[in-house]
Chain A
Amino acid sequence: MTTLPTSTKKKLGLVIDLDICVGCQACATSCKEWNTGGYSAPLSDIQPYGADPDGAWLNRIHTYEAGTGPEGRTVHFPRSCLHCEEPACVTVCPTGASYKREEDGIVLVNPDTCIGCKLCSWACPYGAREYDPAHGVMKKCTLCVDRIYNENLEEEDRIPACVRACPTGARHFGDLGDPNSDVSKLVAAREGYDLLPEFGYKPVNKYLPPRPRRDAYSQDKSTVAAAPIEPSDNEAGTMAAKLFTWADRMLSR
C-alpha cells in the first residue's frame, strides 16, 4: 500500500558523522557485499571488469570540498536512503511495491511486485534509489532489515552492515523517534541536521556537521596562508614533516 502510515512506532535510521568520516568506502563495500547476498535478488553489476562498469549500489560516498581558504575543507559524504517520514517515492509508486513500514519506519521495495517503472527514483531528491537492470526492479537501502532483527546473527551484528563496517565510528544506528535513544542524544548534542528540509520529506537519517577547526589555521588566521603545506627545502628533512605531508596527501584524496 503506497499511502503512508500516519505515524510509525519507531523511526529507525542512521546518523552519519561528517566530522570523522574518512571516505574509505568500507560502508559502501560492506553494504554491497551484504545486500548482494541478502534480502531480494543480488545487487547486480553489469560488466564489472569491463571498460564501462555499471551496477546498483545502495550507498555512495562522495567527497566534497566545502569553503575556500583556511576554513575550507574536504568533507566525505556518504549518501543513501534517508528513510523519510513523508517520502513521495512511496506515494508515487503505482503498484504498492514501495512502502513504509508502520512498525519501524523503514522504506522498502517489494521485489516481487515492483514493475520497474522507475517513477520512485524520479521522486527522490536524494538520488537514493538505483534501478537494477538485470532484475528489472528498483533497489534501495533496506536499513539491513534482514540483519537488524536476525536472531541467527550475534547480537553485535544486528546492526546495518555499513554501521558494522565503519572503521572510524562515523555511522550510528538507532531509533530516532525515541528522544532518549543514543542516536537522538547524539543528534541533539552535535546539532544533527536534515538534508534538504525544504522538501518536506522529513528524512529520518541525520547528518552531524564537521566540527569547527581547532588547529593552527583557525587559531591564528593572520599568520598562516591558505596554501596547502608543501615541504620546503629546509623543512623537508625532518621525519615528522615527511610523515605529515604523506598523511595530508592520503587523507585529502
Chain B
Amino acid sequence: MHPSYSVIIFTTASGAGYGLLVWLALFRMFGVIPAERWLGFLGLGTALGLITLGLLASTAHLGHPERAWRAFSQWRSSWLSREGIAAMATYVPAGLLGLGWVIFETGGFFLGLVALLAIIGSGITVWCTGMIYASLPTIRQWYQPLVPPVYLAMAMATGGLLYNALAHMFGHGSALSAGAALLAVIAALVIKGLYWRVIDSAPKKYTAEAATGLGHLGKVRPLDPPHTQPNFIMREMGFKVARKHAVKLRGLAIIFAFLIPLFALVLALFAGAPAVSGVAGIVALLSGAVGVIVERWLFFAEAEHVAMLYYGAEAA
C-alpha cells in the first residue's frame, strides 16, 4: 500500500499525543505529579496539540476536507467513523482535566474521574485507529488481531518517552517516569516483534487463479494490461518495497524506536545525576520519534493488497 505522509503523520502524532495524555492523566490521578500549572499547560498542551495536528493531517489526504464532519455519522458499521467520534469525545474529559489542572491547580475526586475518562477515551480512539486497518480482509498484513495492540503499544511507548522528557523539564523526572517509558518501550518491542513474525509467516491465501477463476485452465499470467499507464489502483495498492530494503528498514525501526530508547532509559534510571537522565530522556525521545515514523512507513509499504492479483501479483 502506498505510504501517504498525511496518514503516517496522523497515526504517529495522534498516537504519541494520546499516549502522553494517558500517562499524564494516570500520574495525575494517582497524585504522582503535582497539579502544577505550567506542567499541566505544557503537558496537556503538547498532548492535545499532537492529537489535533494528527487529526488535521488526516484530513489533508481527503478529497473534500470541508465535508469531514460527515465522517461522524456511520459509527454503526465504520471503524473510521467510530475513531472520529472517539477522538472528538476524548477532547471533553481532556479539556476538563486541563481546566482543573491549569486554571485551578487542583486534583480531587472530580478531576480523578475526568482523568479516568480521558484515559479510556484515548485507549478507545487508538484502538479504533488500529481497527480501521485490522478490519480490511483485503490486506493480509493488516487483517491481523495484533494490529490494534500494536497501535496501542506504539502510542504508549512514544507517549511514555514524551512524558519522561517533559517530566524532566519540570524537575519531576524520576525512576518512575523513566521506568514507565522503559516498560512501555519493551512492551511495544515485544508486540511489534510478534506482529512481524506473524505477518512473515501468514499464508498467502489468494492467487491470480482464484481472482480470475481461470485456475482450471492452468497458471494465469497477465498478457495485455487494460491501460498503458498506472491507474489509481496500481498506485494506491501496488506500492512495493523491495524485500532487502524492508529488512534494512525494519532493522532501523528496531534500533531507533526501541533499542536506543531502551539503552537511554536504562542509563537514565541508573545515572543518578538528573542532568544525565534528562539528556538521556531527550535522546530516547528523538530516537523514538524517528523510529516510529520508519515503523509506520513500513506498516503501509509492506502491506499487500489482493486487488494486485489482477495486475500480475501471483498471490496475496
Residues of A in contact with B (beta carbons under 8 Å apart):
1-4, 18, 23, 28, 52-57, 60-68, 71-75, 77, 79, 88, 90-97, 113-119, 121-127, 130-133, 135-138, 193-196, 198-199, 207, 209-210, 253
Given A23-B224, A54-B229, A63-B222, A118-B71 contact (CB < 8 Å): no
- CB neighbours (8 Å) of A117 from chain B are 61-63, 71, 80
- The reply to whether A198 and B310 contact each other, CB–CB distance below 8 Å, is no
In this complex, the member of B73, B226, B237 whose beta carbon has the largest number of chain A beta carbons within 10 angstroms is: B226
B84 CB within 8 Å of chain A: yes
Interface residues of B in 105-121 (CB under 8 A from A): none
- The reply to whether B219 and A68 contact each other, CB–CB distance below 8 Å, is yes
- The reply to whether A66 and B226 contact each other, CB–CB distance below 8 Å, is no
Question: Which of B72, B136, B213, B221 interacts with A65 by CB under 8 Å?
Answer: B221
- CB neighbours (8 Å) of A137 from chain B are 63-64
Can you name 11 extra interface pairs (CB under 8 A) apart from A3-B77, A119-B132?
A60-B227, A64-B221, A71-B217, A74-B223, A113-B67, A115-B64, A118-B236, A121-B233, A125-B211, A127-B237, A138-B63
Bound CA–CA A114/B63 (angstroms): 8
- The reply to whether B65 and A115 contact each other, CB–CB distance below 8 Å, is yes
- CB neighbours (8 Å) of B219 from chain A are 66-68
- The reply to whether A122 and B139 contact each other, CB–CB distance below 8 Å, is yes
B243 CB within 8 Å of chain A: no
B225 CB within 8 Å of chain A: yes
- CB neighbours (8 Å) of B217 from chain A are 66-67, 71-73, 75, 210
B174 CB within 8 Å of chain A: no
- CB of B126, distance to nearest CB on chain A (Å): 17
Question: Which of B61, B132, B220, B310 interacts with A79 by CB under 8 Å?
Answer: B310
**B305 to A, closest residue via Cβ:** A122
- CB of B295, distance to nearest CB on chain A (Å): 20
B145 CB within 8 Å of chain A: no
Bound CA–CA A121/B62 (angstroms): 13
Question: Which of A2, A88, A130 interacts with B231 by CB under 8 Å?
Answer: A130
Bound CA–CA A124/B306 (angstroms): 9
- The reply to whether A94 and B210 contact each other, CB–CB distance below 8 Å, is no
**A201 to B, closest residue via Cβ:** B137
B79 CB within 8 Å of chain A: yes
Question: Which of A95, A119, A125, A207 interacts with B67 by CB under 8 Å?
Answer: A95
In this complex, the member of A4, A28, A127, A133 whose beta carbon has the largest number of chain B beta carbons within 10 angstroms is: A127
- The reply to whether A207 and B77 contact each other, CB–CB distance below 8 Å, is no
5 inter-chain pairs at a CB distance below 8 angstroms, sorted by A residue, are A88-B136, A92-B79, A94-B70, A122-B305, A195-B211
B81 CB within 8 Å of chain A: yes
- CB neighbours (8 Å) of B216 from chain A are 209
- CB of A249, distance to nearest CB on chain B (Å): 13
Bound CA–CA A61/B225 (angstroms): 8
B135 CB within 8 Å of chain A: yes
- CB of A129, distance to nearest CB on chain B (Å): 8
Bound CA–CA A196/B305 (angstroms): 14
Bound CA–CA A68/B220 (angstroms): 9
Interface residues of B in 78-115 (CB under 8 A from A): 78-81, 84
- CB neighbours (8 Å) of A93 from chain B are 74, 78
- The reply to whether A96 and B70 contact each other, CB–CB distance below 8 Å, is yes
- CB neighbours (8 Å) of B74 from chain A are 1-2, 93-96
- CB neighbours (8 Å) of B65 from chain A are 115
- CB neighbours (8 Å) of B226 from chain A are 28, 60-63, 79
- CB neighbours (8 Å) of B305 from chain A are 122
- The reply to whether B64 and A114 contact each other, CB–CB distance below 8 Å, is yes
- CB of B207, distance to nearest CB on chain A (Å): 10
Interface residues of B in 196-246 (CB under 8 A from A): 205-206, 208, 210-214, 216-233, 236-237
- CB neighbours (8 Å) of B236 from chain A are 118, 121-122, 131
- CB neighbours (8 Å) of A79 from chain B are 226, 310
**A25 to B, closest residue via Cβ:** B226
B1 CB within 8 Å of chain A: yes
